[in-house]
Chain A
């Protein structure tokens, strides 16, 4: 019995290692290459450890002056968008979860239908609109599409969440003279914190990596969020692969570190994205 268990574990670990290589090798290649000298790639084995590990590439990216500006842009737009998404979606979810009115079901269905809409159909009109209102090539031009496209899923998840909160507390509050707004702020919001946290993480991951709208709506390097900047770096360093790899490593690092710190929360956030 024990021997069988040992054999089983060995097989499990072997299979596990195979996938570890598949999932991890590109990351190893990326991080390692970042430490290589520019021309080392032409000579040595690509898997080899760098001959003279150098921080030049990482250094160049970090001190080049622009990288932190991109990070700042990304943090700013993601933070503002996520806060707005959470506020608007919790308000809407509260209405859908608790208020009885004729349009409840139809409106909810209409909003949820937004989940399958390909962003590409909106790209041209949103581009023209952004240009017309003078927000083209501004970080803030991204706010509208970022908020709008992430509302449906957030509303869906929060509505489900709020339906699961027992009504007794609100009823008690109602008897004590609490109106709907007060009971939303005092009771529903605090009780929805776990759901809101999950959605905050999920939306942050999605928006941190968003590319299409940034690509269409922004040109000036100083206004670019990180994913678009990576794309530009690629052109700038096209002949210097180790430098590009260090950019990629640095851009992936924040999310990987956050993930390692709060794995369970991130996973719950990602799964929330998958609905029920």
Chain B
């Protein structure tokens, strides 16, 4: 009797989750792969089966690979900028904890995390604007007129200008995550280290950082996977332009599928993106779990 009730509970309690995930995640993945073998505008009831055409087009599509390389640039720079600054700020906040003004600092530092990417994108479009913006006047004010430019209109810097905004948006998140990890270290350890004559920097280097390694690893995986999926901010700021200079896999996929009505090719791009993200996630997974068993 009890066993049967348990079985029914398991089924009924998992049902809503499985239904939602099947309809909106699992089935769409299968369906995307299936659509990638057709040529279709999404409107005409007839879909043309074209075999591997979309996939061979993808392999030879320079823009897709450019978008992929841009994604890798985003990953690399995000990691290189967000992790150290996030940790630096976390240490700063921990050090300044007793000073009242740091309450204000901590509050404001977190603001970027609360704004939507769309709003941030629009805001920074104007911040970067060569005429109304604040970057160019700021550079002029400190005598760097030579550096002023149309930040989002310059193929050489557009991607980096957007990455700077991505970092601005996400650093607070890592800062808070690291701060929580640092605070999780028992006070005794710090006291003991300081008693033994260690300086504060030495405490962070030799004791705190090794202890928050797990959090650091989580943060890196989050940043990596997140960087491969960026869409909103880039779309709002540059739409991937100028001339694909800041194109990412997600923006390219959107452009192909929706404004140009190439549902088949768009699906191929989406599927390729899925494969790439999954492979990287699996590699990371096995690397970190191997790492964990070694430590």
* Cα-based distance from A125 to B2 in the complex (angstroms): 41
A256 to chain B, nearest CB (A): 6
| Given A99-B9, A211-B232, A256-B114, A20 and B105 contact (CB-CB distance below 8 Å) | yes
**Contacting residue for A124 out of B95, B115, B263, CB 8 A:** B263
Q: Is A267 an interface residue (CB 8 A)?
A: yes
- In addition to A16-B105, A33-B126, A209-B116, 18 A-B residue pairs with Cβ atoms within 8 Å of each other are A16-B92, A16-B101, A19-B92, A24-B108, A24-B111, A25-B134, A91-B17, A116-B225, A116-B281, A179-B2, A180-B6, A211-B117, A211-B231, A231-B122, A251-B119, A252-B116, A270-B113, A271-B180
Q: Quote the shortest CB–CB distance from B45 to chain A (angstroms).
A: 12
Contact B274 A118 (CB under 8 A): yes
- Do A271 and B2 have beta carbons less than 8 Å apart? no
Residue numbers in B under 8 Å from A231 (CB-CB): 118, 122, 236
Smallest Cβ distance from A91 to chain B, in angstroms? 4
Within 8 A of A (CB), among B1-41: 2, 5-7, 9-10, 13-14, 16-17, 20-21, 23-25, 27-29, 31-32, 35
Q: How far is the CA of A126 from the CA of B24 in the complex (A)?
A: 7
Q: Which residues of B contact A117 (CB under 8 A)?
A: 25, 29, 274, 277-278
Q: Which of A232-276 contact B (CB under 8 A)?
A: 234, 241, 244-245, 248, 251-252, 255-256, 259-260, 263, 267, 270-271, 274-276
Describe B's contact surface by its main secondary structure: helix
Contacting residues, chain B, for A30 (C-beta < 8 A): 123
Closest to A268 in B: B180
| Contact pick for B253, options A27, A123, A256, CB 8 Å | A123
Known: A20-B109, A227-B119, A251-B119. Is A29-B29 also a contact (CB below 8 A)? no
Closest to B272 in A: A121
Contact with B along A52-91 (1 / 0, CB 8 A): 0000000000000000000000000000000010011101
Q: Chain A contacts of B127 at CB under 8 A?
A: 26, 29
| CB-CB under 8 A for A116 and B277, given A22-B168, A245-B126 | yes
The answer to whether A35 has its CB under 8 Å from any CB of chain B is no
B176 touches A270 (CB 8 A): yes
Alpha-carbon distance A276/B25, docked complex (angstroms): 24
Whether A248 contacts B119 by the Cβ 8 Å rule is: yes
A276 to B184, CA, bound (A): 13
Interface size on B, residues (CB 8 A): 87
Bound Cα distance from A263 to B105, whole angstroms: 13
Question: Which residues of chain B in 133-179 are interfacial with respect to chain A, using CB atoms and an 8 Å cutoff?
Answer: 133-134, 137, 168, 172-173, 176-177
Given A155-B17, A251-B116, A118:B232 Cβ within 8 A: no
Does any Cβ of B come within 8 Å of A197's Cβ?
no
Which residues of A are interface residues toward B (Cβ below 8 A)? 9, 12-13, 15-16, 19-20, 22-27, 29-30, 33, 41-42, 45-47, 84, 87-89, 91-92, 94-95, 99, 101, 107, 111, 114, 116-129, 144-145, 147-149, 151-152, 155, 179-181, 184, 205, 208-209, 211-212, 216, 226-228, 230-231, 234, 241, 244-245, 248, 251-252, 255-256, 259-260, 263, 267, 270-271, 274-276
Q: How far is the CB of A201 from chain B (nearest CB, A)?
A: 11
With CB as the reference atom, state the residue of chain B lying closest to A155: B17
Residues of A within 8 A of B215 (CB): 274
Contact A144 B14 (CB under 8 A): no
- Cα distance, A211 to B254, chains bound together (Å): 13
Query: Does B10 lie within 8 Å of A19, measured CB to CB?
Result: no
Q: Please judge, given known A-B contacts A120-B270, A125-B35, whether A209 and B13 are in contact too, CB under 8 Å.
A: no
Neighbour of B9 across the interface among A148, A180, A234, CB < 8 A: A180
CA distance A13 to B228 in the complex (A): 36
Do residues A147 and B20 form an inter-chain contact, with CB atoms below 8 A? Answer: yes
B273 at the interface (CB under 8 A from A): yes
Please give the distance in Å from B59's CB to the nearest CB on chain A. Answer: 18
Question: How far, in whole Å, are A231 and B123 apart by their CA atoms in the complex?
Answer: 11
Distance of A19 from chain B, by nearest CB (Å) = 6
A228 CA to B117 CA in the complex, in Å? 11
Contact residue among A41, A45, A148, A230 (Cβ-Cβ distance under 8 Å from B25): A148
Contact yes or no, A125 B108, CB < 8 A = no
Instruction: Tell me whether A26 and B254 are in contact in the complex, defined as CB-CB below 8 angstroms, given that A45-B137, A267-B176 are known contacts.
Output: no
B7 nearest in chain A by CB position:
A101
